[in-house]
Structure 1
Amino acid sequence: MRSGLLHAHSGLRYVALALLIAAIGAGFAAIMSKKAYTPGSRKLYSFAMVSTHIQLLIGIVLYIMNSVPMISAVGMGEVMKEEEKRFWVIEHPIMMLLSVILITAGFSMGKRARIDLAKHRITTVFYLLGLILIFFAIPWPFMSPGRPWF
Structure 2
Amino acid sequence: MYTGIQHLHSGLAYLVLIALIIVIVLMLIGSLSGKEFTEKDRKIALIAFILSHVQLLVGLILYFVSPIGLSLLQGGGAMSDPIARLTALEHPLINIIAIAVITIGYSRAKKLSTSKAKFRSIYMMYAIGLVLILSRIPWGNWLG
Q: What TM-score do you get using the length of structure 2 for normalisation?
A: 0.94
Give runs of aligned pairs for residues 56-135 of structure 1, distance below 5 A: 56-66=56-66, 67-72=69-74, 74-75=75-76, 78-135=77-134
Deviation readout 1:40-96 (Å, 9 max, x if unpaired) = 100110000111101100110111122223333x23xx1111111111011101110
1:47 matched to 2:41: no
Q: Secondary structure at the match of 2:143?
A: coil
Instruction: Kindly report the root-mean-square deviation, in angstroms, between the aligned alpha carbons of the 2 structures.
Output: 1.2
2:30 aligned residue: 30
Q: Which protein has greater RCO, CA pairs closer than 8 Å, 6+ apart?
A: 2
Deviation readout 1:85-125 (Å, 9 max, x if unpaired) = 11101110111001000000000001110111100011110
Structure 1, unaligned runs of 5 or more? 141-145
Amino acid at match of 2:70: V
Query: Is residue 31–residue 115 contact of structure 2 (8 Å, CA) maintained in 1?
Result: no
1:147 aligned residue: 141
Q: May I ask how many residue pairs the two structures share in their alignment?
A: 142
Structure 2, unaligned runs of 5 or more? none
Q: Hey, what's the Cα distance between the residues in 2 that align with 1:23 and 1:148?
A: 23
